[in-house]
């Protein structure tokens, strides 16, 4: 079975500080990688994705993530946190050879302190 | 704007009741999914469907069934609700041809008493 690990179920940062949310996956074949965000009382929406090509991908709201095959990681970063970034963040992988199923991490709740 | 609509935002049911959770998408997507979301466990796949009248079990199908009679509608059925099925249920669909982006509904918070 595929596995996605998000280190830290809760992360707190000060407004204006760097945001770093960690994600590691277990797979012998590089998967497609995603970050989704869930704002309170809403469903999930896509933040960014990596499929092929450039390993540094940029998403909405100033977020970016870098695929590092040697570390099997896909950490999410944002240089300067904003109050509106407070949300739940989910890392996910997609393997076409396992039936087009997405596998999600357990989520990281981001709190931004004013 | 694309839309996945779940019929109820909050639902309270009694143990043993039959429960229907409805999901409709207006994007003509072929693939639809039901997940449940629990604190500390993330999203877990219950069932998915690649086409009308087609269904596949996900990772936690026990206690659930699904129905897809029309392309736009995917229903999750709890035949006999139990308290351990209290959870947030999320419906999603993907866009062809590469199915790389999941579109989610806003979720149904189900409480089974």
Query: pLDDT tens digits for A29-88?
Result: 778 899 999 998 888 999 999 988 889 999 999 999 999 999 999 999 999 999 999 999
Please give the pLDDT value at position A64: 97
Please give the pLDDT value at position B91: 96
Do A36 and B102 count as a contact with CB atoms less than 8 A apart? yes
Tell me how far apart the alpha carbons of residues A44 and A13 are, in angstroms, rounded to a whole number: 22
Residue A100 pLDDT class (50, 70, 90 cuts): low
Dump the DSSP string for A25-86.
Answer: EE-SS--EEEEEEE-TTS-EEEEEEE-SS-SEEE-GGG-EEEEEGGGTEEEEEESS--GGG-
Do A100 and B102 count as a contact with CB atoms less than 8 A apart? no
Percent of chain B with pLDDT over 90: 73
Tell me how far apart the alpha carbons of residues B78 and B70 are, in angstroms, rounded to a whole number: 19
Please give the pLDDT value at position B99: 62
Do B101 and A46 count as a contact with CB atoms less than 8 A apart? yes
Please give the pLDDT value at position B50: 87
Interface test with B, best of A32, A100, A101 (most B CBs within 10 A): A100
Identify all chain B residues contacting A42, using CB atoms and an 8 Å cutoff: 106-107
With an 8 Å Cβ cutoff, is B97 touching chain A?
no
Residue A80: how many CA atoms within 13 Å on its side-chain side? 1
Please give the pLDDT value at position A84: 95
Of A90, A99, A100, the CB nearest to B42: A90
Which residue in chain B is spatially nearest to A91 when comparing CA positions?
Answer: B42
Q: Each residue of B75-103: pLDDT tens digit?
A: 999 999 999 999 999 999 987 656 678 89
Q: Each residue of B42-81: pLDDT tens digit?
A: 999 999 998 898 899 998 999 999 999 999 999 999 999 9
Map residue A24 onto helix, strand or coil.
strand
Tell me how far apart the alpha carbons of residues B26 and B53 are, in angstroms, rounded to a whole number: 18
With an 8 Å Cβ cutoff, is B45 touching chain A?
yes
Of A41, A46, A106, the CB nearest to B40: A106
Residue A107 pLDDT class (50, 70, 90 cuts): very high
Residue B29: how many CA atoms within 13 Å on its side-chain side? 27
Identify all chain B residues contacting A39, using CB atoms and an 8 Å cutoff: none
Do B99 and A100 count as a contact with CB atoms less than 8 A apart? yes
**Radius of gyration for chain A, computed over Cα atoms and rounded to the nearest angstrom:** 14
Please give the pLDDT value at position B96: 63
Q: Choose between A96 and B50: higher pLDDT.
A: B50
Residue A102: pLDDT over 60: yes
Identify all chain A residues contacting B94, using CB atoms and an 8 Å cutoff: 100
């Amino acid at each position: 079975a595929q596995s996605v690990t998000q280190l830290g179920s809760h992360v707190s940062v000060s407004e204006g500080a760097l945001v770093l949310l960690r994600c590691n996956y277990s797979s012998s074949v590089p998967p497609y990688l995603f970050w989704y965000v869930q704002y309170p009382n809403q469903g999930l929406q896509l933040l960014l994705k990596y499929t092929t090509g450039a390993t540094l991908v940029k998403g909405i709201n100033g977020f970016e993530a870098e695929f590092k095959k040697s570390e099997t990681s896909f950490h999410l970063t944002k240089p300067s946190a904003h109050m509106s970034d407070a949300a739940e963040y989910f890392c996910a992988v997609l393997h076409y050879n396992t039936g087009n199923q997405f596998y999600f991490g357990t989520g990281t709740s981001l709190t931004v302190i004013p | 704007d694309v839309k996945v609509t779940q019929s109820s935002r909050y639902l309270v049911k009694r143990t043993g009741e039959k429960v229907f959770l409805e999901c409709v998408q207006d994007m003509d997507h072929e693939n639809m999914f039901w997940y449940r979301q629990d604190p500390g466990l993330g999203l877990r796949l219950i069932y998915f469907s690649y086409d009308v009248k087609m269904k596949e079990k996900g990772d936690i199908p026990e206690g659930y069934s699904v129905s897809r009679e029309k392309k736009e509608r995917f229903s999750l059925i709890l035949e006999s609700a139990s308290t351990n099925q209290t959870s947030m249920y999320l419906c999603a669909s993907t866009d062809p041809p590469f199915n790389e982006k999941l579109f989610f509904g806003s979720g149904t918070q189900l409480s089974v008493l």
